[in-house]
């Protein structure tokens, strides 16, 4: 784990070096294209501002994805369990999940105005579909023998859901959560560019208006860093919760 | 009155021109405490019959009675099933796996854990209570499956080729273990196998089935005392008789 983390830094270091070389070579106006050191200076000098905006964005993503999780996982368990529900909702799910959430931003602003609400609603919508689809997939791929075991034991439908389908689908649900955080994060930045007056998306748009490319760069880097952080958190949770999978599947 | 009564059971899959008859009017009776083996080649419907006895499948015609109660789409409360590929829950440790059937029957946590530990000890897995299925060998997994099935005190134990995936040595051990456990219970066992040796080693009665459609070809009473010696002339004579019964045409086997 530690070893692979260090190796993971190599391309990033190379990228920063290329960036530095490109900056020094003067192929592009240095007024528009800041050096790594200038961007680093922004982190140091404006840490408070950056942290405030990052916190606003993270709060919205956590809120939106949590709401999506609470709605999508039970719905996915039921749809995956009962073929009639699957048949009923399959087309609708395929249609709705194809909408790019960014296309819904203008509608969200019309409905909810400028502020927290449109942003969180949009993130919830964006995070809902990957969670729902992963949960359905997880439930459907349960080992059939285990359902027979349950039936032969006289287990109630509720026990089947809580003790068999949920743990069996958990790895897929956590994969869905990773995807949901990813699309939630994309959505929050887009939503903040239009619908809210705070957050990293807003900061980047604002930096363009006041002509601060160094600030744009630092905003983008923070977004990437937080994306990595979220992904690592879910991976760790998965490693912890799905230890029973050790030796069953190759680790991802 | 027999404890288990398989009464003119037929099973057809599909309909119309594609319909296949998997079981053709099978009737078998067994008393409480009897050990029955269903023996036959693949396609003889022995596993289908077991599924019907366990209530996991419905017969097309006929019925199965356990203690005079007809089985319909539900496992009889005094029946337990041991599955071919053990059917353990990979996310539960050994104790939770063994306790599952009790939990399904609404037994409280303390009581089911206590019982589970008893049965874990009975099948010789003390010390493995907290292990997960992937940490166990094939034979140990099936011991867990058997402990889970026995935990509810079944009067009817249905076993679908439970030792089919084990190596020969482990299989022999498990056969002896199963007989040891069965002798302590009062339970009818219906044990599906395609191994003639296994059937002769275990059963009071062997029901030889023939394939396409699945039918009862012949029923053998095994009166050899236990423990049975698979190298004894009586044992080998029975094995030979069953070989003849299983195969329509002796020449296919190149036997004189």
Look up the domain containing B237 and give its range. 1-78+156-163+186-256
Question: Topology of domain A56-243, per CATH?
Answer: MetI-like fold (1.10.3720)
In a domain? residue B118: no
Dihedral sign, CA of B26, B31, B33, B35?
Answer: negative
The CATH number of the domain holding residue B47 is 3.40.50.300
Could you read off the pLDDT of A164-217 as tens digits, one per residue?
A: 999 999 999 999 999 999 999 999 999 998 888 899 999 999 999 999 999 999
pLDDT band at B151 (very low <50, low <70, confident <90, very high): very high
**Secondary structure element (H or E) that encloses residue B80, with its range:** strand B79-82
Q: Which residues of A touch B (CB under 8 A)?
A: 145-146, 148-156, 159, 163-164, 167-168, 170, 242-248
Categorize the per-residue pLDDT at B43 as very low, low, confident or very high, splitting at 50, 70 and 90. Answer: confident
Cα(B30)–Cα(B1) distance, integer angstroms: 9
pLDDT of residue B42: 81
Residue of B nearest to A159 (CA): B104
From chain A, the residues in CB contact with B91 under 8 A are: 167-168, 170, 242, 244
Q: Is the pLDDT reported for residue B252 higher than 60? A: no
Question: For residue range A223-243, what is the model confidence (pLDDT) as tens digits?
Answer: 999 999 999 999 999 888 888
Instruction: Please state the domain count of chain B.
Output: 1
Over residues B34-61, the mean pLDDT reads 92
B40 lies in some domain: yes
More confident: A102 or A158: A158
Judging by beta carbons within 10 Å of its beta carbon (0-12, 13-18, 19+), is residue B198 exposed, middle or buried? buried
Classify residue A7 by burial, with Cβ atoms within 10 Å: 0-12, 13-18, 19+. exposed
Interface size between A and B, measured as CB pairs under 8 A: 62
Q: Which residues of A10-26 are buried (b: 16+ CB within 10 A; e: fewer)?
A: eeeeeeeeebeeebeee
CA distance B75 to chain A (A): 5
Q: What is the structure's pLDDT at B171?
A: 92
For the segment B126-138, the average pLDDT, to the nearest whole number, is 93
Question: pLDDT by residue (tens digit) across B212-232?
Answer: 888 999 999 999 998 899 999
pLDDT for B249 equals: 45
Residue ranges per structural domain of chain A: 56-243
Q: Which of A152, A243, A247 sits opposite B81 (nearest CB)?
A: A152
Measuring CA to CA, which residue among B59, B49, B111, B54 is closest to residue B77?
A: B54
Q: Report yes or no on B248 lying in a domain.
A: yes
Query: Does residue B147 lie within any of the structural domains?
Result: no
In a domain, B67, yes or no: yes
Contacts (Cβ under 8 Å, ≥6 apart) of A16: A36
Q: Which of A63-77, A193-207, B70-84, B237-251 has the lowest mean pLDDT?
A: B237-251
Q: Looking at the DSSP assignment, which residues form a beta bridge with residue B70?
A: B65
In a domain, B90, yes or no: no
**Per the domain annotation, does B49 fall within a domain?**
yes
- B185 to chain A, minimum CA–CA distance in Å? 19
In a domain, B226, yes or no: yes
Compute the nearest-CA separation of A84 from chain B (Å).
20
């Amino acid at each position: 784990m530690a070893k692979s983390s260090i190796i993971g830094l190599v391309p990033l270091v190379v990228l920063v070096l290329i960036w530095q070389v490109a900056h020094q070579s003067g192929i592009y106006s240095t007024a528009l294209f800041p050096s790594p050191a200038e961007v680093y200076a922004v982190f140091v000098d404006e840490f408070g501002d950056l942290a405030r905006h990052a916190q606003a964005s993270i709060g919205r993503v956590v809120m939106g994805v949590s709401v999506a999780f609470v709605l999508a996982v039970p719905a996915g368990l039921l749809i995956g369990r009962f073929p009639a529900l699957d048949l009923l909702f399959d087309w609708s799910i395929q249609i709705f999940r194809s909408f790019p959430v960014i296309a819904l931003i203008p509608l969200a602003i019309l409905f909810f105005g400028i502020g927290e609400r449109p942003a969180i609603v949009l993130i919830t919508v964006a995070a809902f579909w990957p969670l729902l689809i992963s949960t359905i997939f997880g439930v459907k791929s349960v080992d059939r023998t285990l359902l027979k075991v349950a039936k032969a034991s006289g287990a109630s439908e509720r026990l089947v859901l809580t003790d068999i389908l949920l743990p069996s689908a958990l790895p897929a649900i956590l994969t869905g959560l990773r995807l949901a955080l990813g699309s939630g994060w994309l959505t929050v930045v887009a939503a903040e560019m239009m619908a809210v007056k705070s957050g990293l998306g807003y900061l980047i748009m604002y930096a363009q208006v006041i002509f601060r490319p160094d600030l744009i760069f630092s905003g983008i880097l923070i977004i990437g860093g937080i994306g990595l952080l979220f992904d690592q958190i879910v991976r760790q949770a998965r490693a912890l919760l799905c230890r029973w999978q050790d030796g069953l599947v190759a680790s991802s | 009155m027999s404890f288990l009564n398989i009464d003119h059971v037929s099973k057809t899959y599909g309909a119309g021109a594609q319909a296949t008859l998997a079981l053709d009017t099978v009737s078998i009776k067994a008393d409480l405490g009897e050990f029955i083996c269903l023996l036959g080649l693949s396609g003889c419907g022995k596993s289908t019959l077991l599924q019907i006895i366990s209530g996991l499948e419905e017969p097309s015609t006929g019925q199965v009675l356990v203690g005079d109660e007809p089985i319909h789409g539900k496992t009889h409360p005094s029946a337990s099933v041991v599955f071919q590929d053990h059917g353990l829950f990979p996310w539960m440790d050994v104790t939770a796996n063994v306790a599952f059937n009790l939990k399904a029957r609404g037994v409280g946590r303390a009581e089911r854990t206590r019982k589970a530990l008893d049965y874990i000890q009975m099948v010789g897995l003390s010390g493995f209570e907290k292990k997960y299925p992937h940490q166990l060998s094939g034979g140990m997994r099936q011991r867990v499956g058997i402990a889970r099935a026995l935990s509810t005190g079944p009067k009817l134990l249905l076993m679908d080729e439970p030792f089919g995936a084990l190596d020969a040595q482990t299989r022999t051990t498990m056969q002896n273990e199963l007989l040891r456990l069965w002798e302590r219970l009062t339970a009818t066992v219906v044990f599906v196998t395609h191994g003639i040796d296994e059937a002769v080693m275990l059963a009071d009665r062997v029901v030889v089935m023939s394939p396409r459609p699945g039918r009862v070809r012949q029923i053998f009473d095994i009166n050899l005392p236990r423990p049975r010696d698979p190298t004894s002339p009586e044992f080998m004579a029975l094995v030979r008789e069953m070989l003849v019964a299983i195969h329509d045409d002796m020449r296919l086997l190149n036997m004189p």
